[in-house]
Structure 1
Amino acid sequence: MKILALKVDVDTLRGHREGVLNLLNLFDRLSLKASFFFSMGPDNSGKAIVRIFRKGFLGKMLRTKAPSTYGFKTLFYGTLIKAPMIAQSFPGLLKETARRGHDFGIHAWDHVKWQDRIHKLPVTTIEADLRRAFDLFYQYTGHQPRSFAAPGWQVSQDALLVLDSMRLRYTSNTRGLFPYVPRWGRKAFSTLEIPTTLPTMDELLGRRGLKGEEMARHLASLLKEGLNVFTLHAEMEGLSQIGVFESFLRSAMDQGAKCVPLSFVADQIPRDELPRCEIGIGTVEGRAGTLAVQATEA
């Protein structure tokens, strides 16, 4: 059977305010459940401008029409415009996600800070930021978060140490092929890692002419037997590309794919049979810079 696990990253205030509700309504229409990962603190999207010096970043911004996708105000948050607080601006959406029966967890406290600086942050800062996110999540939902997905697939050994101490049900921090238990150098961790296995829409959009229904068909053609993990973004699939995303989902279901949240995957995996794999640093076509990837089996 083809399993399509749906992972929704919520990076910005606009994605939280508009994209999440659009996706919740779409999933209701299709009778599907997904995993939502919320950025809880400030929207500092404007500070991401420093990535312009990374190879491929400017091209990706142009291909994906970033100003219309994210909104012009978003591109100045944290620089010319004071960074708004994401979850605190619309806290009811976290409860609504829970009420509709979806899996949900933490994406970050400050998405840009984590994505751009995680390898430089001291462990005390990582722990403090995660604690702020976890505490606010509990305040708004009454639930302790049991899962985490790293912004931009960026993670460090110190970050894994902190996440491991939180006894999470699973994480989704890397790109890879199948679920595993991670190692980083000589350090072994215990938390189940469910990597993203498929390319994202923003990595494909505009490349080789892919857009619209052709994009939906291409994504559906990539589905293989067994587990497929697709990461979508509330700012893209929840807004400008929601029609394309719906077409992809319908094509997947027409193939007989079962669409599930990541929590379903976590529940089905016998922990004593999981391979232990190294986390390495690699690249993905269509994405600027490097990111955490599933490497060799240890």
Structure 2
Amino acid sequence: MLLALKIEVDSLAAARDITPRLVTLLQGLDANASFFFNLGPDRSGQADGPLFQVGETRKQIRRNRALGGPRGAGRLYGRWLPAPQLHKAVASAIQVIQQAGYETGLRGWDRVNWIKRITTADEAWVRNELTAALHAYEHLLGQPAQAIALPGWRTGRHALRLEQQLGLHYGSDCRGSSPFLPVVDGEPIRVPQLPTTLPTLAELTGANEMDDLATVDQLLALTASPTPAGHVFTLNADADGGKRLPLLQRLLAAWREQGQQFASLAQLHATLDINKLPWHSLEQSSWPGYSGMLAVQGPAFPRG
């Protein structure tokens, strides 16, 4: 059973301090994964308010910040301190992860502004954001990015159309149940979407207030029955790589015992026949625990 691990790296602290812990954990389990990097300004100090919360009370928000690892001054970036430019600050971390054999891809350029603005952004703004990220990635690694996982499961027609124009192999920009080709506002896009299919640790421990044992049991139950295309599990380095790391380690070990094969999204993509993938609408929908609208896999379209 294929279980692709998608790791979001959004901040300087996550890239510099937390990803090495995650690499050590993955290597100990002989697990593959994909790391997606934000490459523009680290505005962690502006990542508050309802758009960045997952249904928590104020007490839970304070607790989850404590679980986020050694962010330190990162809570001030973009608010009281200048926002570091991540493509300059984390170049060596990205290269080390790639040299260790893990897939790397894009989150985008400015995660905080993307989540705040994408619902009303025009094509020019979206193009500027994505091309800035793509150019930074190619400059760092000497090769173009092949995959993208846009922040907060928030995307739309302009972004998806650009993914196709810019030659990306796949996106993981939405929530859903299985890989598909998206149709957005009636426009078909031939860049497969590999949606997040499982709830995140933040959703289960924050919005649903589950303890560690219940969280692991819930996720094991969701993956107990094989599915044709496997699953995609998203974890955020900031939120899940600090004091929550023991929970993540416990979950991955339990999944290994269940028979899951940990994979990168590129490996999942390689199993797909794009000519046989179903077409589905990509819709903007509410999602439990979140403010605003998330991109969600909608009903199937008949193939032409």
TM-score scaled by length of structure 2? 0.91
Partner of 2:258: 255
Deviation at 1:288, TM superposition (A): 3.0
Partner of 2:296: 293
Deviation at 1:144, TM superposition (A): 1.0
| DSSP-derived class of the 2:67 partner | helix
Partner of 1:225: 226
The 3 A distance-change label for structure 1 pair 58 and 30 is closer
Identity of aligned residues (%): 27
Deviation at 1:56, TM superposition (A): 6.5
| DSSP-derived class of the 1:296 partner | strand
Code of the residue aligned with 2:250 in structure 1: it is S
Deviation at 1:148, TM superposition (A): 0.3
Q: Distance in 2 between matches of 1:55 and 1:266?
A: 29
Partner of 2:123: 123
Q: Does 1:156 align with 2:159?
A: no
The 3 A distance-change label for structure 1 pair 56 and 124 is closer
Partner of 2:47: 48
Q: Which moved more, 1:70-79 or 1:273-282?
A: 70-79
Contact 2:181 2:278 in 1 (8 A): yes
Contact 2:280 2:299 in 1 (8 A): yes
Deviation at 1:81, TM superposition (A): 1.6
The 3 A distance-change label for structure 1 pair 35 and 55 is closer
Code of the residue aligned with 2:56 in structure 1: it is G
1:141-184 alpha-carbon deviations (Å, 9 max, x no partner) = 12211000010000021111111111111100000000000011
Contact 2:36 2:104 in 1 (8 A): yes
Code of the residue aligned with 1:21 in structure 2: it is P
Q: Does 1:59 align with 2:60?
A: no
| DSSP-derived class of the 1:37 partner | strand
Code of the residue aligned with 1:219 in structure 2: it is L
Q: Distance in 1 between matches of 2:155 and 2:208?
A: 30
Which 5+ residue runs of structure 2 have no aligned equivalent? none
- Pick one of 213, 221, 238 that aligns with 2:241: 238
Q: Which moved more, 1:116-125 or 1:213-222?
A: 213-222
Partner of 1:68: 66
1:62-81 alpha-carbon deviations (Å, 9 max, x no partner) = 43524323435333221112
The 3 A distance-change label for structure 1 pair 61 and 98 is farther
Contact 1:106 1:133 in 2 (8 A): yes
Partner of 1:21: 20
The 3 A distance-change label for structure 1 pair 62 and 39 is farther
Q: Does 1:266 align with 2:265?
A: no
| DSSP-derived class of the 1:263 partner | helix
The 3 A distance-change label for structure 1 pair 261 and 175 is same
Q: Distance in 1 between matches of 2:234 and 2:58?
A: 18
Deviation at 1:107, TM superposition (A): 0.2
State the Cα RMSD in Å. Answer: 1.9
Q: Distance in 2 between matches of 1:164 and 1:151?
A: 18
Q: Distance in 2 between matches of 1:120 and 1:208?
A: 30
Q: Distance in 2 between matches of 1:187 and 1:58?
A: 33
Contact 2:182 2:188 in 1 (8 A): yes
TM-score scaled by length of structure 1? 0.93
Q: Distance in 2 between matches of 1:61 and 1:266?
A: 39
The 3 A distance-change label for structure 1 pair 190 and 44 is same
Could you list the runs of 4 or more consecutive aligned residues of structure 1 that deviate by over 3 angstroms after TM superposition?
54-58, 69-72, 206-209
Contact 1:95 1:141 in 2 (8 A): yes
Partner of 1:174: 174
